[in-house]
């Protein structure tokens, strides 16, 4: 909800009208049906330029419900198979805003990606895999780690760039990092009422050459890029300036 509120506020601050739809339903089956129907209605609405679906979905409602329904032209968070496929092939399309933010953070910070050894922790279709694809396209050598990875520290300790997107607070600590490594913490976790990332910031900041905090790191840039994707979607739909999300 933190994430959604910030997006709504960001839209309001630049004069973009928003509509929030709470999908009704008493169980996963009816929620799935209602969610699919709500997305189809938004697809048809000419006043709607972009659609995002707040993740994670309720237990039992598959991501496929969104993936199958959303119009790729309004898919500003890059979930539709067309956009996912375009990313995989290296063509322009809408990419997930968080993955875009991770790459943009590296670019704007002047961090060399080409030739770098990068480790991405997390392989979800929404964050981990898109980041891994984008780093690969930018000529990094990428290792993707996940919940079945045997020795995470063994992988992170030699990495120049570590992107953490697992949703596990404290998963990466300073002792797991190569001195001077660049650390991008995508995680958002609520611990004792506080928002924290996946990286133990206190120990990692002393070892890392650069590190994004949580909150205040990738999140604000993600929101800004989501708005940029929305504006491009509106331009495309009205025949204005063309171009992809990158
Ligand atoms: P997800 O649950 O779909 O995927 C988590 C991934 O982490 C999986 O691939 C899993 O294999 C891996 N993982 C879990 N435990 C692990 C472990 N112990 N070691 C190694 N890998 C492990 O989650 P998601 O949607 O990809 O989101 C990941 C995190 O990013 C969450 O905290 C989420 O809230 C956050 N998020 C942030 C933004 C943002 O804008 N900053 C946007 C989306 C998601």
- Exposed/middle/buried for 237, CB within 10 Å: 0-12, 13-18, 19+? middle
pLDDT at site 204: 98
Query: What are the domain boundaries of the chain?
Result: 2-90, 97-218
pLDDT at site 24: 86
pLDDT at site 26: 87
Same fold, 2-90 and 97-218: yes
The CATH code that applies to domain 2-90 is: 3.40.50.10860
Q: Which residues line ligand 1 (CB under 6 A)?
A: 55, 98, 121-124, 126-128, 145-147, 149, 152, 165-168, 171, 186-189, 218-219, 222
Q: Enumerate residue ranges in the chain where pLDDT < 70.
A: 1-2, 241-246
Which DSSP letter does residue 119 get? E
Residue 20 near residue 51, CB atoms below 8 Å: no
DSSP 3-state of 40: helix
- Say how many Å lie between the CA of residue 149 and the centre of ligand 1: 14
pLDDT at site 48: 98
Percent of the chain with pLDDT over 70: 97
The CATH code that applies to domain 97-218 is: 3.40.50.720
Instruction: Please give the Cα distance from 136 to 28 (Å, whole number).
Output: 37
Is the pTM higher than 0.85? The answer reads: yes
pLDDT at site 135: 98
Q: Which residues neighbour 81 within 8 Å (Cβ) at sequence distance 6 or greater?
A: 67
pLDDT at site 242: 52
Residue 227: its H or E element: helix 218-237
- Exposed/middle/buried for 244, CB within 10 Å: 0-12, 13-18, 19+? middle
- Say how many Å lie between the CA of residue 164 and the centre of ligand 1: 8
């Amino acid at each position: 909800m933190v994430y959604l509120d910030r997006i709504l506020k960001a839209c309001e601050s630049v004069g973009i009208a928003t509509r929030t739809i709470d999908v009704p339903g008493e169980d996963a089956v009816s929620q799935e049906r209602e969610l699919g129907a709500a997305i189809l209605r938004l697809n048809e609405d000419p006043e709607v330029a972009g659609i995002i679906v707040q993740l994670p979905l309720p237990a039992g409602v598959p991501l496929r419900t969104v993936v199958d329904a959303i119009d790729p032209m309004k898919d500003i968070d890059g979930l539709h198979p067309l956009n996912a496929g375009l990313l995989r092939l290296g063509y322009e399309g809408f990419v997930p805003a968080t993955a875009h933010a991770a790459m943009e953070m590296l670019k704007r910070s002047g961090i060399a990606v080409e030739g770098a050894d990068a480790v991405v922790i997390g392989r979800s279709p929404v964050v981990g895999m898109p980041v891994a694809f984008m780093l690969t396209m930018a000529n990094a050598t990428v290792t993707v780690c996940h919940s079945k990875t045997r020795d995470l520290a063994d992988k992170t300790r030699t990495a120049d760039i570590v992107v953490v997107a697992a949703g596990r607070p404290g998963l990466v600590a300073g002792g797991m990092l190569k001195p001077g490594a660049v650390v991008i913490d995508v995680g958002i976790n609520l611990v004792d009422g506080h928002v924290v990332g996946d990286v133990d910031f206190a120990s990692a900041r002393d070892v890392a050459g650069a590190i994004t905090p949580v909150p205040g790191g990738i999140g604000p840039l993600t929101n800004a890029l989501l708005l940029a994707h929305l504006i491009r979607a509106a331009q495309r739909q009205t025949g204005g300036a063309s171009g992809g999300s990158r």
